[in-house]
Chains A and B, each alone.
Chain A
């Protein structure tokens, strides 16, 4: 299983950029990197997915170095509503969903 390691928690203030790094040293060639956001009492919500280099959408950016052993989710100018748990997943669904492992995530707290 492609195991990921993330910080347990992070604190930030409104308007700051937040970068959450995920370590995945044993990522396989066909694995994608996916990030989810989860608010209390809700299911996770897909944020962004990438394979290499940089991916950007309207919500976040995902930076993946050449060796792909880590990735960084970047949230620009966070607001209070970005307070949530963020999960990093690594896997290739074409080889089996069992390999998509949700860890315990990073709890982000945004303060005024």
Chain B
């Protein structure tokens, strides 16, 4: 069965802290994604990666960075957390090529920055 896991379901951090969100997929997928989801705004793409050490900015990359050192792992980094980064963070993956059947999502990490 397809599996995307995220390191934490709930996380509380203080303003200014450096925050790491980890995502691991066991499907040997080339593509991995980080989204944030906020009420009334739907899901917004932060960053994605189509290969190891490759990354591309999504719609809202400001305040975030990512790392993909291994194919199965994609990390989202908040360099200096701010209260407006309080959100649900969702990781996803999918294989390359046509007819890939959509993205597989993890359970999400609800981050609160105080």
Is A112 an interface position by the 8 A CB rule? no
CB of A96 to closest CB in B, whole Å: 8
Chain A residues, CB < 8 A from B100: 93
Is A104 a contact partner of B40 (Cβ separation < 8 A)?
yes
Chain B residues, CB < 8 A from A49: 99, 101-102
In the complex, per-residue mask of A81-112: 1 if CB is within 8 Å of any chain B CB, else 0: 00000010000011011101111110000000
Interface residues on B, range: 20 to 34
Is A29 an interface position by the 8 A CB rule? no
Once A46-B103, A102-B43, A103-B42 are accepted as A-B contacts, the answer to whether A94 and B98 lie under 8 Å apart by CB is yes
Is A77 an interface position by the 8 A CB rule? no
Is B107 a contact partner of A42 (Cβ separation < 8 A)?
yes
CB of A71 to closest CB in B, whole Å: 14
Chain A residues, CB < 8 A from B33: 97
Residue of A whose beta carbon sits closest to that of B59? A98
Chain B residues, CB < 8 A from A41: 107-108, 110
Is B35 an interface position by the 8 A CB rule? yes
Is A104 a contact partner of B41 (Cβ separation < 8 A)?
yes
Once A97-B31, A97-B56, A97-B58 are accepted as A-B contacts, the answer to whether A43 and B42 lie under 8 Å apart by CB is no
26 A-B pairs with C-beta separation under 8 A: A41-B108, A42-B105, A42-B107, A42-B108, A43-B91, A43-B92, A43-B106, A43-B108, A44-B90, A44-B92, A44-B103, A45-B105, A46-B101, A46-B102, A49-B101, A49-B102, A87-B43, A93-B94, A93-B100, A94-B98, A97-B31, A97-B45, A97-B58, A98-B56, A102-B42, A103-B42
